[in-house]
A and B are shown apart, each in its own frame.
Chain A
Amino acid sequence: MTTLQVAREFSPYLGGRYRDDGPWSGEQFRDEMLRPRLLEAIQQHATLHINFDGVAGMPPSFLEEAFGGLLRTVPGLELKTLNERLKLDAEDPELWPFLKLAQKFMEHQAERPH
């Protein structure tokens, strides 16, 4: 099991959807942190825990681009694999709805035709 502490390893202030929108965007997070770490975890048959404690907020556009975009940009990646290898977590109760929202974005993306 490997853990990715978003606030410490990426930024506590998550940005918008695209790199053009400013720093710490969902696109940047997906390309620089999430995708390499997830692929490594899949290769090692391990689970990647992503902890969001310490972030100031979780913008929906950031979440959609990071987690929904993961299924768009990684060929052959399935929702089932993501559910097995990726766990989103936070102790802060205010962040709980957004963990669920990220999960919903992944499900929506899996239902969409590629």
Chain B
Amino acid sequence: MAVSKAGPEVHGAPSGAAALTAPPRPVVPEIAPAPVLANNPPNQTNYYIGSEPVSASTTHSVSGWLVDKVAPPLISGLIISAIVSVIIARAMERYRGERDHVNRAADALRSQLLALQKATTAYWLSSYDSEKSALQEAEIEFLLQDIAGLASACGAELWQNQAGEGPQLVAELAEQATGPDFGTKTRISDRKRATAVTRVAARFTGRLTSGRREYFNRHKAGWFASRARLASKAWRGMRRK
């Protein structure tokens, strides 16, 4: 805005002699109102990045920012969480399956041991019989073979090698159930052997049960248990410091 001495008084300037003696006051130009951003329709929300306003026409850069900065870690996170959940689910399924298999084998083993006790008792309480003995012998031999298979399936901890406790226990059971006279035509009834089988079978079942408990305690939740132990150890170490 132009200022003239001869022209009309400037708003706020002194008049007459005072105007001649007094130094001229500095002219303060009117401050123009903040320009309204072009293409910014009324009621349009203004966006800011830092202190800089962003017009509606430039909001496409916000979506670009989202695509550049937010989406990649979000997608990576989703992929990682999906993979981890699949791995955890598989580990849990495997553990559950193994446990079910061992439990089913243990149940079958118990019923076969019971059948063996009955068969051996009946066999050893009578002397050789040309008609019955062959059938009884075949049944006892089948049961012993089945028991060996089931015991090796549900007592992995006892079945590490040939000299392991599991094979020894089954061998002892088989020895009590059969003996040197088993299957001979000169066999006579043997009450001691008939009762010994029950005793050995009871000891065998007890040992298998405790072996199975030890095995599951050691392998409980496998990976998770080992990580929990490590975390607990680290936590104790930090607290000591």
Contact surface of A with B, Cβ cutoff 8 Å:
16-17, 21, 57-61, 64-65, 68, 93-101, 104-105, 108-109, 112
Contact = CB atoms under 8 A, between A and B. Distances in A.
A16 B137 CA distance: 9
Interface in B159-212: 159, 162, 164, 166-171, 174-175, 177-180, 182-184
A21 B166 CA distance: 31
Contacts of A59: 141, 145
B182 A96 contact: no
Q: What DSSP secondary structure best describes chain A's contact surface?
A: helix
Q: Which of A57, A59, A99, A105 has the most CB of B within 10 A?
A: A59
A98 B171 contact: yes
B152 interface: yes
Interface of B: 134, 137, 141, 144-145, 148-149, 152, 159, 162, 164, 166-171, 174-175, 177-180, 182-184
A61 B137 contact: yes
A66 B151 CA distance: 26
B123 to A, nearest CB: 12
B185 to A, nearest CB: 8
Nearest to A89: B162
A96 B168 CA distance: 9
